[in-house]
Amino acid sequence: MAKNKSLLREYAEIVLFTVLLFIVIRAEVVQAFRIPSESMEATLQVGDFLLVNKFIYGPGIPFTDIRMPAWRDPEPGDILVFPYPRNPAQMFIKRCIAVAGQKVEIRDKRVYVDDVLVENPPHVKFDDPTVRAAPRSTRDNWGPKIVPAGTLFVMGDNRDYSSDSRYWGFVDTKDVVGNAFVIYWSWERHRNDPELVWQSSRPLESVASLAYVLGYNIAHVPWRVRWNRIGRIVM
């Protein structure tokens, strides 16, 4: 009997340790993130699933508000995940353009930091050839402004269709969740794909909807998975 209790206790401890390790890794080291919008095209596409490095900017101690020292601070060029300043329940992903103390200016879609023209990322996207003049719009002409202490200036790579610092201001550095670093899955979604309909008051219909959506997605795996994007380093 004692041996059985000991064996059960060992299994319980292994399971408990595994769960706690997963919680710590999920909360403070690596987090999964799905691209929901087109604001980072063509660097990131809708349906890309990313891993976000939360350790690099200083992991938090689980169940506390304390953060450990950062490996390094966010830098221009980093692709950051952070809560949307106007709605913290919503997560955004943008590219860091400038950090505290740097001067940012946008002239006719061209970005200047400290009066130096910033080279566009390899997959930056411009879909609208028109140039909007200030002060009517801040999209193509903005600043110059100095990035305040403790904040970052961020932009989406889809420059003509991105809600970013040009419209709602700066990101607080302490709110940055982490740095996106690799695509681990990528799924091309179509408009006519079935949607899961789940209502607790209608369990049979909900289960049938779940089964149909799962079956549909499994059947379309060979054509919908962007195999060439899986494992791609985010830059």
Q: Report the candidate in 144, 160, 41 with the shortest Cα–Cα distance to residue 98.
A: 144
Q: Based on the fold, state whether residues 153 and 211 are members of the same structural domain.
A: no
- pLDDT tens by residue, 126-157: 999 999 999 899 999 999 999 999 999 999 99
Is 89 among the domain residues?
Answer: yes
Question: Is residue 94 annotated as a catalytic residue, yes or no?
Answer: yes
Residue 120: burial class (beta carbons within 10 Å; 0-12, 13-18, 19+): middle
Residue 111: what residue type? V
Cα 227 from Cα 140, distance rounded (Å): 35
pLDDT classification of 121: cutoffs 50, 70, 90: very high
In a domain, 49, yes or no: yes
pLDDT at 24 over 90: no
Q: How many domains does the chain have?
A: 2
Residue 53 parent element (H or E):
strand 48-53
Coil, strand or helix at 230: coil
Residue 155 shares a structural domain with residue 65: yes
What average pLDDT is seen over the chain? 87
In a domain, 155, yes or no: yes
**Three-class SS string for 158-221?**
ECCCCCCHHHHCCEEHHHCCEEEEEEEEEECCCCCCCCCCCCCCCHHHHHHHHHHHHHHHHHCH
Residue with tokens 């950090």: 99
Task: Name the pTM for this structure.
Answer: 0.81
- Looking at the structure, tell me whether residues 60 and 101 fall in a common domain: yes
d(CA 84, CA 87): 5
Neighbours of 121 (CB within 10 A): 17
Q: Is residue 9 part of a domain?
A: no
User: 84 with 104, same domain?
Assistant: yes
Q: Tell me, yes or no, whether 76 and 169 share the same domain.
A: yes
Among residues 55, 54, 36, the alpha carbon closest in space to that of 45 is found at 36
In a domain, 14, yes or no: no
pLDDT score recorded for residue 143: 94
Domain end (from 154, 171, 186): 186
pLDDT digits (tens, 9 = 90+) for 38-61: 999 999 999 999 999 988 887 666
Same domain? 104 vs 149: yes
168-214 pLDDT, tens digit per residue, is 999 999 999 999 999 999 989 888 888 888 888 888 888 888 898 88
Catalytic residue among 39, 162, 165, 186: 39
Do residues 136 and 233 share a domain? no
| Strand ranges, E, within 54-176 | 79-84, 87-99, 103-107, 110-113, 116-117, 142-146, 151-155, 171-172
Residues 181 and 125 in one domain: yes
Candidates 5, 6, 94, 201; catalytic one: 94
Residue 66: is its pLDDT beyond 80? no
Domain ranges, residue 203: 193-235
Alpha helices (H) along 28-164 = none
Q: Both 69 and 148 in a single domain? A: yes
Q: Which of 186, 205, 224 lies at the terminal end of a domain, its last residue?
A: 186
- 208 domain-assigned: yes
Tell whether 147 and 223 lie within a shared domain: no
CA distances from 186 to 34, 76, 167, 176, 220 (A): 9, 26, 29, 24, 13
User: Does residue 107 share a domain with residue 55?
Assistant: yes
Specify whether 3 is catalytic.
no
CATH code: domain of residue 40 = 2.10.109.10
179 and 229 fall within a common domain: no
